[in-house]
Every structure is written in C-alpha cells, then in structure tokens.
C-alpha cells in the first residue's frame, strides 16, 4: 500500500504551463524519502518553500509544472506544516509499504513503511477491521514504530469475519487511510476418505462450518465441522455409491467467502498381472488389476491408456463388461535384444496413473501339460519357442534338457487380423537314465534362461514287461521292465488278502526280484510300487505237473501221485475221470495221496494198461496217463498195501530230502549272483 504518484502524473518541464495567480496546495502524497505536492500556481523559478520553520534548499525539490512538485525531505516529528510559495498546508508524512495478514488461527497485523510513529503516548495509532473496535499499536519504541506498527487482533473477534476484502482503516497520527484486508488464504494439505465422510486437513479454515463450502468435482456436500482452523469434516454420503472406488482424478475444493483452494486426489488403478505375447508376432495382452473401471459414476465411458516400457499398447478395450481387466495390442519386436524384457506396465484411467509396478516381458512361456508317451516326454504350451532367441530348454527337477524336436500343433495359428495368437508348441525329449519312474516338476525356459514358464507336475510311469512264474512252494521271482528305481515294494493281492513279496531288490532299472510266499493259481494281481507309484500287473504260479503214480490192486488202496507244484488250495484229483473215494491229501508240493476203494476200481476201471490222472490246483490242471490197476491171478487176492505203503513213505522222504538240498544249492547260487551284481553296479 503506497500513497505514491509517479513522475508520469506530473507534466515534464517541456510541457510546463505557467499559470499566474494565487498558489494553493490540494494534496500531498508521501513516498519513502520524498513527496509529491499537488496544487495550483506553482512557479518554476520560485525558491520559497519551508517545512516548519526550515527553508528547503532548491536542490531538494523540482517544480515539474504549475500543479506538481517533487520534494526530497528528511522527516522530523516536530514539523507539522509546509509552506509552498506562500501557501500553507498540513505536513504529516505517512508512507505505508505493506500490511501483513495472518491465518484464521489468529495473530497480529503489522503495518510496515516509514514515518509511522504515534502522535504521542495518549494518541496511539490504531486499526479498525470492518465493525471492530479499535486495535492499538503495541510498539512503544519510537525508533521501531517509525517503520513498523503492530496491532493485536483478539481471537474472540476473528470468528465474526472471514475471507478477504474486509474493510480496513489505518489511523496514523489521526490520519485515516482506508483499504481492504484479508486472512491468509486457506490451504489444503491432505484429504482422507472414509465410507461416508471426507476429512480435509490444512490451515486457515476458520471455525464456522457455515462459512465453508466443500465440493467434490461437480458435487457440493455438507460441511459437518471445522476444528481448530485446520480440519474440515464433510458428509460424503450424498455422493454416488462407490464414488471413490472409481479410478480417476477427484477434485476436492473448499470455498471460504471469496477465497478458495482445491486438492487433487488420484484414485489410481492397481495393475496386478499381465499376460505375455510372442516377440515375433506381438498381439493382444491382458492387464488385470483392481479399480479397472470402465464407466464413471454418471455412466460415461472412462478414458484409459496403457503403456509398456517405450511402447504404447494400442486399442485398449475391456476384456468383457464389468471385468477388472483391459486388453491392448503390443507390436512385435524387430530384434532379439533385451528391449523386450522387464518392461514397466502403466495404466492411466481418467488422468490417474498407476504407481504399482508390474513388469511385462515378451515370450514368457506357458506350459499347459507335460506327458509321457512311451520313451518320450512331450511338453505342450504357448510361447515355448521364439525364433528371436532359439534357445528353448526343458528343466526337470533342476536339470536342463535340450528338446529333441520342436514343433507347432498344426491345428493352431496366429490370426493377423484379430492379433490373437493361439499357436501351441510341442517340445519332445527322450527319457534318459536320470528320468526314472516317479513324480516330477517341470518347466521351460527361453532367452538364455531368463524367462521361465509356470511349473507343472507330471509322472513318469515305470513299465512292467514280464514276470517269471513262481512254483507253488514259493520262491524267487523276477519282474522285468523299465524305469525302475528305489524305493520299491511288491505285494500279491488275491482279493482276499495281500501278501508281501519279501526281500524286494532293485538289481537294475530293468529288473526287480523278490521272494514270493507259497501259493497257487493264475492271473493273480500283483502290485509293484516304484518310488511311490503303484503299478498293477498279473502273475501266475506254475501249473501242477503230474509225473507218476503208484498202482493199486483190485482190492483198492492209496494211490500216490508224484509231480511238481502241488498245493492243497482248491485241490481235486480225477483218475480215469473218477474222483478219489475220499478227499485227496496234499503231502507236499510234489506228492498227493488219493484213496481208491475196491468198489470204485471194480466199477470204473479196466485192466488194460495206464489211465489218465488229472490233478487240479486252484484253477490249473495237468493230466498224464500214469496209473494202472494191477491184476491178481487166480481167485485169491494178495493185499500189497502193507508192502507198498512203507516203500512209498521212504520214497517221499527221499524226494523231500532231495528237494531241500537242491533248494539250498539254488539259494546259495542266488546269493552269489546277487553279490556279483552288487559289485558290478558299484563300478
């Protein structure tokens, strides 16, 4: 605030008009160290000017024309009048350079300038704000008050005024200067939203809710409270539902009388994932996340754009209605440089740009399945190969393999019009000695191993080829196949009970042996567990073998049948189609007793040589013609049973002893073979 008239308000000397007549002074405008005197009849060549009783040297003023004089002066509080060429006028220099303001929290008004000291202790300078009482100068030191007056405004009065353009009267030594004054404008520093309210933080808000108008974009909402001049709480329940869950820039504004301020809230979209495309073709990618709204609260379409590194992802569209995903089209790459890796993805919706960082890379492979086909493993998926890198690998349990072949499923393609890439690549690799039966995790890599696919579980199943036939007395069996590995377990499952095959041993990836318990029958389920994978196959015991049978006379007796792989399970014997007189008895796996009565022999047999003997064991049978009835001459019949029975028992004991010896020799040879194999495998 300056009472200052510039030189341009006075005519230059060349344009000076001399007016003869009485000299008069109409006004004096003071500046810092000089003043402009306005009036009439000023003479250029007159040297007749006094301040108080001191004559003013001609060098201290310039008469521009008959109406304007510029005067340089030194202030003295004792001087109260000025004489200009005989005309007397009040001399009261006041120069105001600035009037301070303060926040609504309260404070003091400082008037700065020059020549501002009070008239005296009983006549202090003062100010009046609007209809306020007088607030007096608090600076008593005359040297300080020369250039600065301070007026304290009580807080009790501040609540009665607000904003700016408040009428102000500054009274300096009984001269009133009028102007307008205003608080420091309100400033918003932060805005927080809750479900039904908005909290605005800042300063110079005042304390009267009715003075404050809060707006959100084009909506005006109710001001609930203004606390400590620094916090405004407004009711946002009148806004459209979910207004702050829609991405975009929201303008929060306040109006305080003729003052206003605003604050931009960015409701930012939050990208969470992005798909990949092949570098040789480019194509459609999908960016998914939260706050990916397609419509504003008024139903209008949002504006949105997606950038990926240096690329603009064109034609941004919703994946589908009300989805949290947008699609756009990425261009293909021209070279195999690293420009296609780890590119930051940014999405902007209604001028609010995402700040959450996710990365996009071309050619990220995706595996759909890994399957075993015989001795091959086939990996099927998208982007498993790129001509720009040409270094596809398959990684299984941390071991990397180079595919034997790479091919494209000929039912898939890239659509140049829609930019949809449906190509499916298939990587084939042979199963080597490190990939034995078991469960695995596999994935693929590309671009020097930098890009890797998702991990997919798969199973390599061992294969059972043949299983040797065990004798009914049990013993060592061999399971031949492929891709065997430890741990192993073998169990016989006859649907009634499960019997373990003991001492299961892995001789090689192609051979398992174990000791099977005694039994009989055919097509019995056998469960072979290899590295926690259970394989189901069938096994059959060796069928019974009839070798010979003792004879009886017409008077009957016990027929002893000799052979192999006999068993009491489901045992039956037919001699010449006729069952034994009572149930046959299995003495061992090599001997069966079949009693025949004289009536059976008389009625069912003739005496013309050997007749067939059939032995049935648990669904298996063997038949040999090894039995005959011995005829007795004359009418007397000699009973040979007391002679034959001891001989038969001795024979049985001999056979049993021989079998034990042979079994011992066989077990010994087996253990020797096992030791040799273990030695070979250790090399």
DSSP annotation string for 363-421: T--EEEEEEEETTEEEEEEESS--TTT---EEEETTEEE--SEEEE-TT--B-TTT--B
CA distance 673 to 505: 13
Q: What is the arithmetic mean of pLDDT over 170-185?
A: 94
pLDDT of residue 44: 81
Backbone angles phi, psi at 40, to 5 degrees: -155, 145
Asked if 48 and 69 touch (Cβ cutoff 8 Å), the reply is no
Q: Which two tokens stand for residue 117?
A: 């000291």
**Nearest-CA neighbor of 472 among 564, 563, 549?**
564
In total, the chain counts a number of residues equal to 683
**Domains 367-460 and 463-539 are alike in CATH topology:** yes
Q: State mean pLDDT over 234-243.
A: 92
Domain ranges of the chain: 7-90, 95-181, 187-267, 270-360, 367-460, 463-539, 545-645
Label the pairing between strands 187-193 and 219-227. unpaired
Average pLDDT across the chain, whole number: 88
pLDDT band at residue 662, thresholds of 50, 70 and 90?
A: confident
CATH code for residues 270-360: 2.60.40.10
Cβ-Cβ contacts under 8 Å for 383 (sequence gap 6 or more): 276, 277, 278, 363, 364, 365, 366, 425, 446
Mean pLDDT over 601-609 rounds to 75
Q: What is the pLDDT of residue 637?
A: 41
Q: For 568-591, what is each residue's pLDDT tens digit?
A: 999 999 998 999 999 999 999 999
Q: Tell me the three state secondary structure of residue 627.
A: strand
pLDDT band for position 17 (50/70/90)? very low
The 10 Å CB-count burial string (b at 16+, else e) for 312-338 is ebeebebbeeeebbbbbbbbebeebee
Answer yes or no: are the C-beta atoms of 381 and 450 closer than 8 Å: no
Strand order in the sheet with 148-153: 95-99, 107-114, 148-153
Residue 314 has pLDDT above 70, yes or no: yes
* Closest-CA residue to 376 (of 483, 286, 300): 483
Q: Supply 379's token pair.
A: 């990996």
Report the alpha-carbon distance of residue 563 to residue 540 in Å, rounded: 18
* Partner residues linked to 203 by β-bridges: 187
Considering 44-53, 451-460, 649-658, the range whose residues carry the highest mean pLDDT is: 451-460
Write down the pLDDT at residue 6.
Answer: 39
545-645 to CATH, choices 1.10.3480.10, 1.10.10.10, 2.60.40.10, 2.170.150.20 = 2.60.40.10
- In contact, 237 and 291? CB cutoff 8 Å: no
User: Which pLDDT belongs to residue 19?
Assistant: 37
Read off the pLDDT of residues 124-169 as tens digits, 9 standing for 90 and up.
999 999 989 999 999 988 889 899 999 999 988 988 888 889 999 9
- Work out whether strand 405-408 and strand 456-460 pair parallel, antiparallel, or are unpaired: unpaired
Right CATH number for 463-539 from 3.40.50.720, 1.10.600.10, 3.30.1300.30, 2.60.40.10? 2.60.40.10
In whole angstroms, give the CA distance from residue 125 to residue 134. 9
CB 629 within 8 A of CB 552: yes
Report whether 539 contacts 470 (CB < 8 A).
yes
Query: Is 605's pLDDT higher than 90?
Result: no
* Residue 648: predicted pLDDT: 63
* Tens digits of residue pLDDT in 23-50: 899 999 999 999 999 999 998 877 788 8
Given the candidates 3.40.50, 2.60.40, 1.10.3860, 1.10.287, the CATH classification of the domain at 367-460 is 2.60.40
Q: Give 534-572 pLDDT, tens digit per residue.
A: 999 999 999 999 999 999 988 889 999 999 999 999 999
Architecture of domain 187-267 in this structure? Sandwich (2.60)
CB 564 within 8 A of CB 471: yes
Residue in the structure block whose two tokens are 């194509």: 283
d(C-alpha 379, C-alpha 453), whole Å = 11
| Averaged pLDDT for residues 387-399 | 88
The β-bridge relationship of strands 87-90 and 81-84 is antiparallel
**Token duo for residue 582:** 């009572």
Mean local confidence (pLDDT), 493-517: 91
- Cis (ω within 30 of 0) for the bond into 369? no
Q: What is the DSSP letter of 299?
A: S
Residue 546 makes CB contacts below 8 A (sequence gap 6+) with 561, 563, 613, 614, 615, 622, 623, 624, 626
Cα distance between residue 589 and residue 573, in whole Å: 14
Q: What does the pLDDT read at residue 677?
A: 57
pLDDT value at position 646?
Answer: 56
Q: How close are the terminal C-alpha atoms of the chain, in Å?
A: 105
CATH number of 95-181: 2.60.40
Q: What percent of the chain has pLDDT over 90?
A: 64
Mean pLDDT of 100-106: 93
Averaged pLDDT for residues 237-261: 93
């Amino acid at each position: 605030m300056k009472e200052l008239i510039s030189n341009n308000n006075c005519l230059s000397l060349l344009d000076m008009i001399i007016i003869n007549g009485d000299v008069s002074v109409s006004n004096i405008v003071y500046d810092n160290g000089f003043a402009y005197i306005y009036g009439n009849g000023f003479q250029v060549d007159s040297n007749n000017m006094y301040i108080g009783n001191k004559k003013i040297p001609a060098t201290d003023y310039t008469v521009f024309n008959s109406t304007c004089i510029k005067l340089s002066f030194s202030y003295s509080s004792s001087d109260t009048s000025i004489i200009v060429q005989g005309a007397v006028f009040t001399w009261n220099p006041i120069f105001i350079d600035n009037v301070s303001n303060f926040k609504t929290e309260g404070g003091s008004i400082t008037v700065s300038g020059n020549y501002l000291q009070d008239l005296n202790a009983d006549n202090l300078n003062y100010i009046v704000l609007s209809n306020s009482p007088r607030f007096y100068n608090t600076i008593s030191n005359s040297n300080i008050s020369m250039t600065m007056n301070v007026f304290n405004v009580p807080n009790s009065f501040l609540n009665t005024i607000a904003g700016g353009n408040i009428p102000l009267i500054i009274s300096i030594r009984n001269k009133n200067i009028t102007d307008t004054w205003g608080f420091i404008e309100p400033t918003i520093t932060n805005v927080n939203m809750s479900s039904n309210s908005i909290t605005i933080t800042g300063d110079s808000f005042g304390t009267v809710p009715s003075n404050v108008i809060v707006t959100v974009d084009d909506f005006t909402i109710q001001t609930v409270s203004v606390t400590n001049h620094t916090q405004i709480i407004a009711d946002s329940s009148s806004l459209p539902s979910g207004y702050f869950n829609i991405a975009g820039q929201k303008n929060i504004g306040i109006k305080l009388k003729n003052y206003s301020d605003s604050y931009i809230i960015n409701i930012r979209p939050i990208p969470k994932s992005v798909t990949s495309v092949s570098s040789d073709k480019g194509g459609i990618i999908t960016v998914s996340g939260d706050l990916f709204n397609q419509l504003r609260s008024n139903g209008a379409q949002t504006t949105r754009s997606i950038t990926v590194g240096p690329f603009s992802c064109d034609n941004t569209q919703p994946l589908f209605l009300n989805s949290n995903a947008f699609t756009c089209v990425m261009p293909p790459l021209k070279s195999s440089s690293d420009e296609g890796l780890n590119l930051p993805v940014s999405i902007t919706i209604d001028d609010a740009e995402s700040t959450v960082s996710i990365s996009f890379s071309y050619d990220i492979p995706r595996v759909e399945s890994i399957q075993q086909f015989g001795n091959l493993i086939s990996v099927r998926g998208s982007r498993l190969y790129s001509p720009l890198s040409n270094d596809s690998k398959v990684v299984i349990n941390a071991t990397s393999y180079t595919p034997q072949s790479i091919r494209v499923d000929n039912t898939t393609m890239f659509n140049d019009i829609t930019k949809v890439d449906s190509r499916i690549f298939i990587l084939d690799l042979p199963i080597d000695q490190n990939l034995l039966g078991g469960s695995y995790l596999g994935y693929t890599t590309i671009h020097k191993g930098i890009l890797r696919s998702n991990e997919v579980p798969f199973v390599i199943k061992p294969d059972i080829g043949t299983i040797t036939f065990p004798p009914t007395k049990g013993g060592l069996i061999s399971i031949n196949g492929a891709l065997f590995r430890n741990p192993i377990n073998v169990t016989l499952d006859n649907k009634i009970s499960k019997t373990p095959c003991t001492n299961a041993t892995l001789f090689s990836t192609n051979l398992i042996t174990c000791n099977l318990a005694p039994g009989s029958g055919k097509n019995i389920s056998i469960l072979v567990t290899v590295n926690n994978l259970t394989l189901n196959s069938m096994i059959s015991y060796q069928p019974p073998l009839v070798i010979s049978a003792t004879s009886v006379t017409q008077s009957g007796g016990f027929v002893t049948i000799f052979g192999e792989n006999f068993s009491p399970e489901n045992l039956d014997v037919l001699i010449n189609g006729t069952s034994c007189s009572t149930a046959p008895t299995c003495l061992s796996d090599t001997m069966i007793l079949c009693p025949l009565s004289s009536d059976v022999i008389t009625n069912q047999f003739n005496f013309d040589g050997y007749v067939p003997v059939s032995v049935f064991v648990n669904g298996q049978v063997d038949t040999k013609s090894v039995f005959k009835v011995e005829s007795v001459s004359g009418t007397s019949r000699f009973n040979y049973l007391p002679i034959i029975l001891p001989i038969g028992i001795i024979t049985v004991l001999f056979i049993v002893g021989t079998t034990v010896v042979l079994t011992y020799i066989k077990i010994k040879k087996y253990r020797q073979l096992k030791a040799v194999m273990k030695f070979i495998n250790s090399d």
